[in-house]
Structure 1
Amino acid sequence: MKRAIAEGSSDSTVISLGEIITVDRILSRKPQGSKLLILVLCLNIQSEVESCPGACVCYSEPKITISCQQQGLTAIPTEIPIQSQRIFLHNNKITLVRSTSFTSCRNMTILWIHSNNISLIEPGAFYGLNKLEELDLSDNTNLKSINPVTFRGLVHLHTLHLDRCGLMELSTGLFRGLFSLQYLYLQDNNLQNLLDDTFIDLANLTYLFLHGNKIKSLSENVFRGLINLDRLLLHQNRVSLVHRRSFHDLGKVMTLYLFNNNLTVLTGETMAPLVSLQYLRLNGNQWICDCQARSLWNWFKQFKGSSSELECHLPPHLAGRDLKRLQSSDLEGCIDSFNQIRTSVFSTKTRSGKLATGSPPLSSHDGSMKCCQPEMDKSFIYEAKGKAGPSSHSSRPSSNNPLKDKENMSKTKYVETDPSKNGSNKQINDSPFGTFPSIVDPPLTKLRPEFLEPIEPSTVPTKKRQGCSKKNKSKAQCRLTQQGNSSTLQLSLSLLIPPLVWSLLLLC
């Protein structure tokens, strides 16, 4: 009887030994009609799992799961059962996700492919996986870029791991249509810029992890649409500029990390939209604590949450002090931060060995008001280093008009602080953890005298004229004397030539 039941079952039917024994006992006690009914029920018992891939372990509780991690796989198995709900393929050597890899897995809710060698995901690889809720692609360091249509149709996806994938950029529309997404992990990549409206469709996103990248600035609409965001982690980047409206949609953010960046100035207007903020970390930046910091200082007066220290870097007499604990009188003056920064350029190198960038910290994309302007000519600072002329990041662009250029060269050089005029958006620091030394550099007044001597205008010819005697009282007299000397020489030559000619004729 046991053999008959086993032989009569379909290929997909698997009946345990205990079930066969139980059915055998029931059949031995029941009439013939009941035996046939029970036999039909047994034949319709569904299998727990269809055929399991050779290198995998399959089980059905609590959900139908295919586990193939750490098996040395170089490709995704082709015989994955169609009823699989959870598929674990992490810690293998898979290099490619084909467009046909999961076409039959329409019931899948969790897919882990992290810690592989994936370098390409073909468009359509996740097409039709309408029930997918969690996708982990992290730790695939060769991925670098993802096609913008890769995640289309994943309307129930709530968690997406893309951390440590070597991503260089986020394609326009990459997260389009992911209306259910709540957790997005993008940390520890090579992202340098974030485009406006990158996250426009992620209205339900609550956690956004962007730390450990190389992001340099935050534009006006970079976070537009994140109306329910709770946690934003941007620490350990290279952020030196935050647009005054960057956070305009982040009214529900409770945690903001911006520590270990290249910030020098952050306005209170920028922070104002963060009305729910409770935890703020801004340490590890190079804060300038003068009039530029007053609006942020005022904002902290009404901030009720928890904050790290904001250690002042400039001016020197406030170095090391917490901006939040300063008195109003400490912020009344405007330091010549331009001079202080140039001093740092002379004596400070970044960790990469390059000189720190030197644009004044007052510049901003949005043209916000600047509280102080340099009052003296700064051109000698550039030319004191071997008279090489201004560096490219501080000189204004040529107007392609020779007459105009010559006129500008004859005028006193003035370094513009408005990027709309000089076209340069570089900030003071460009390394992840700052470029300033722990000891503040001395002001320019302590430089050696030879660096403080006025430099000749750039229009002075390279040829040196013959110097005049100190006895001359004016340049005009000097020129007359030089002309007189020239005339005397000519007369002497004219008197000597005839005797020489006669002497030659006599010799002949």
Structure 2
Amino acid sequence: MPQNLVPLLTGSKLLILVLCLNIPSEVESCPGACVCYSEPKITISCQQQGLTAIPAEIPIQSQRIFLHNNRITLVRATSFTSCRNMTILWIHSNNISLIEPGAFYGLTKLEELDLSDNTNLKSINPVTFRGLVHLHTLHLDRCGLLELSTGLFRGLFSLQYLYLQDNNLQILLDDTFIDLANLTYLFLHGNKIKSLSENVFRGLINLDRLLLHQNRVSVVHRRAFHDLGKVMTLYLFNNNLTVLTGDTMAPLVSLQYLRLNGNQWICDCQARSLWNWFKQFKGSSSELECHLPPRLAGRDLKRLQSSELDSCVDSFNQIRTSVFSTKTRSGKLPTGLPPLGSHDGSSKCCQPEMDKSFIYEAKGKAGPSSHSSRSSNNHLKEKENMSRPKYMETDPSKNGSNKQINDSPFGTFPSIVDPPLTKLRPEFLEPIEPSTVPTKKRQGCSKKNRSKAQCRLTQQGNSSTIIRIQDDQKSRKCQPSPSELE
């Protein structure tokens, strides 16, 4: 053998020996109730083991930790102190009621955190998520949250998906999402939110999808959407909206999918600016079913003629009479209610009305949309199966599926979480139509009405309920004939 080849062979053998010594054959010190494996990433899987606390002996090299479907009640500040390599942490579907401040401190590589389905987690300390600079997905849905503390999402500059649906949120403070410039999906449906203030969505300059349906929203500030120029999907159906201005919708220049059905729209002069905005909107929209005035009840606001929006109704009294049927058969008001038109003088056209959320909060809501949340049974099974290695033998008594985890963090999303808009359930898509559809011709009024410039009183609900309609064009109120009051 040539002398010059000896050093080369010796060096090669040493290199091979070093590589062999560094290949991990298995994860060291795996907790007793868990299954541990090192491919494709070092994973600790402890789901559905009846654990009441987070195991103390989690290996420091762990990259993915699955602790879902247990009975864990507390996340301590020291629970994951040594897990600095962790990228995915699932603790959903437990009984967690408290997360100590600093519980996730130092987890700078964490990309996905799932805390969903912990129904006793009423509040979260505002410093809980500090330092998670690479976090791109955060699940806080179905946690019973009553509020979002000021600064809760501060510093989460990489966050792209935020799930907050099906909690008990009533108020969203200004600048709650101020640091989330990269957020693309914000799910807030199924809460009890009553209003949207001017700066509630400030900073969400890259948001693509905003779901706010099935709340109690009755007031939207005219500048509430001023930073949402990239939003393509906006759901506000099944709320308590009566009026929404075109100026409010104007910043949504990229909007393609809009749902505003299931609200109590007042189709009079107050709706004209929204009607004008729809004339230039090129996306798809649900119907906007008119609630008032009674002559337009059930009509789609987008299909109305311009002349049908000339007058203004006394919306306060119209709503009270239509909902509560305030008059009796004799035509007298029950005690405790003021006569129609008696509140603070005459009504003013196009002035903003008081918050009417108390009227509609008792209204029945539709079932959950396909965007709502994962089915309680299906999503748990999906997540349980994803946390199993593909080469492990599954226990048929616990799971009947063998779904694997994708090596990419995005591959951990359950397929049922966010189905495409094209696959929404029919009852939540119909009727969706282009906003530019031809409008129907308005039915002409009779010669009798034109000549006398009178309008007839409309009865709604039963013959004892009489609703006054104001003719703003003539600046006088219609009076019923004696025969109509009988």
Short-chain TM bin: 0.5 to 0.7
SS in structure 2 opposite 1:160? strand
Deviation at 1:262, TM superposition (A): 0.2
SS in structure 1 opposite 2:386? helix
Q: Any conservation in 2 of the 1:144–1:167 contact (CA below 8 Å)? A: yes
SS in structure 2 opposite 1:433? helix
Q: Any conservation in 2 of the 1:262–1:429 contact (CA below 8 Å)? A: no
> Larger deviation: 182-191 or 52-61?
52-61
| 1: CA distance, partners of 2:390 / 2:334 | 21
1:254-298 alpha-carbon deviations (Å, 9 max, x no partner): 000000000000000000000000000000000000000000000
1:144-184 alpha-carbon deviations (Å, 9 max, x no partner): 00000000000000000000000000000000000000000
Q: 1:359/1:194 Cα in 2 relative to 1: closer, same or farther (>3 Å)?
A: farther
Q: Any conservation in 1 of the 2:387–2:405 contact (CA below 8 Å)? A: no
| 1: CA distance, partners of 2:263 / 2:79 | 46
More helix by share: 1
Q: Any conservation in 2 of the 1:257–1:280 contact (CA below 8 Å)? A: yes
| 1: CA distance, partners of 2:419 / 2:115 | 50
| Aligned sequence identity (%) | 94
SS in structure 2 opposite 1:485? coil
| 2: CA distance, partners of 1:158 / 1:322 | 40
| 2: CA distance, partners of 1:432 / 1:42 | 28
Q: Any conservation in 2 of the 1:181–1:204 contact (CA below 8 Å)? A: yes
| 1: CA distance, partners of 2:199 / 2:400 | 21
In the other structure, the counterpart of 2:476 is 493
Deviation at 1:372, TM superposition (A): 4.4
1:88-138 alpha-carbon deviations (Å, 9 max, x no partner): 000000000000000000000000000000000000000000000000000
> Larger deviation: 449-458 or 414-423?
414-423
Q: Trace 1:407-486 onto structure 2 (pairs within 5 A).
A: none
> Larger deviation: 35-44 or 213-222?
35-44
SS in structure 1 opposite 2:383? helix
Q: 1:66/1:484 Cα in 2 relative to 1: closer, same or farther (>3 Å)?
A: closer
| 2: CA distance, partners of 1:438 / 1:154 | 25
| 2: CA distance, partners of 1:230 / 1:459 | 23
> TM-score if structure 1 supplies the norm length?
0.63
Q: 1:423/1:126 Cα in 2 relative to 1: closer, same or farther (>3 Å)?
A: closer
1:214-256 alpha-carbon deviations (Å, 9 max, x no partner): 0000000000000000000000000000000000000000000
Deviation at 1:308, TM superposition (A): 0.2
Q: Any conservation in 2 of the 1:262–1:432 contact (CA below 8 Å)? A: no
Deviation at 1:338, TM superposition (A): 2.5
Q: Any conservation in 2 of the 1:359–1:427 contact (CA below 8 Å)? A: no
Q: How many residues align?
A: 464
| 1: CA distance, partners of 2:39 / 2:329 | 53
Structure 1 segments unaligned to the other structure (5+ residues): 1-30, 495-506
Q: 1:61/1:229 Cα in 2 relative to 1: closer, same or farther (>3 Å)?
A: same
Deviation at 1:48, TM superposition (A): 3.2
1:382-411 alpha-carbon deviations (Å, 9 max, x no partner): 999999999999999x99999999999999
| 2: CA distance, partners of 1:211 / 1:67 | 31
Q: 1:191/1:444 Cα in 2 relative to 1: closer, same or farther (>3 Å)?
A: closer
Deviation at 1:49, TM superposition (A): 1.1
Deviation at 1:342, TM superposition (A): 2.5
> Larger deviation: 405-414 or 385-394?
405-414
Deviation at 1:341, TM superposition (A): 1.9
Structure 2 segments unaligned to the other structure (5+ residues): 5-11, 466-472, 478-484
Q: Any conservation in 2 of the 1:262–1:431 contact (CA below 8 Å)? A: no
Deviation at 1:335, TM superposition (A): 1.6
| 2: CA distance, partners of 1:116 / 1:404 | 14
Q: Does 1:351 align with 2:329?
A: yes
Structure number with greater CO (CA < 8 Å, separation at least 6) is: 2
Q: 1:242/1:182 Cα in 2 relative to 1: closer, same or farther (>3 Å)?
A: same
Q: Any conservation in 2 of the 1:409–1:458 contact (CA below 8 Å)? A: no
Deviation at 1:200, TM superposition (A): 0.2
SS in structure 2 opposite 1:369? coil
Q: 1:326/1:91 Cα in 2 relative to 1: closer, same or farther (>3 Å)?
A: same
| 2: CA distance, partners of 1:219 / 1:239 | 11
> Larger deviation: 331-340 or 215-224?
331-340
Deviation at 1:336, TM superposition (A): 2.0
Q: Any conservation in 2 of the 1:280–1:305 contact (CA below 8 Å)? A: yes
Q: Any conservation in 1 of the 2:369–2:428 contact (CA below 8 Å)? A: no
Q: Any conservation in 1 of the 2:165–2:372 contact (CA below 8 Å)? A: no
Q: Any conservation in 2 of the 1:382–1:388 contact (CA below 8 Å)? A: no
In the other structure, the counterpart of 1:403 is 380
Deviation at 1:476, TM superposition (A): 45
Deviation at 1:51, TM superposition (A): 1.4
Q: Any conservation in 1 of the 2:165–2:373 contact (CA below 8 Å)? A: no
Q: Any conservation in 1 of the 2:285–2:434 contact (CA below 8 Å)? A: no
* Match of residue 23, structure 2, among 32, 42, 45: 45
SS in structure 1 opposite 2:44? strand
Q: Trace 1:217-228 onto structure 2 (pairs within 5 A).
A: 217-228=195-206
Q: Any conservation in 2 of the 1:340–1:444 contact (CA below 8 Å)? A: no
SS in structure 2 opposite 1:299? helix
Q: 1:91/1:328 Cα in 2 relative to 1: closer, same or farther (>3 Å)?
A: same
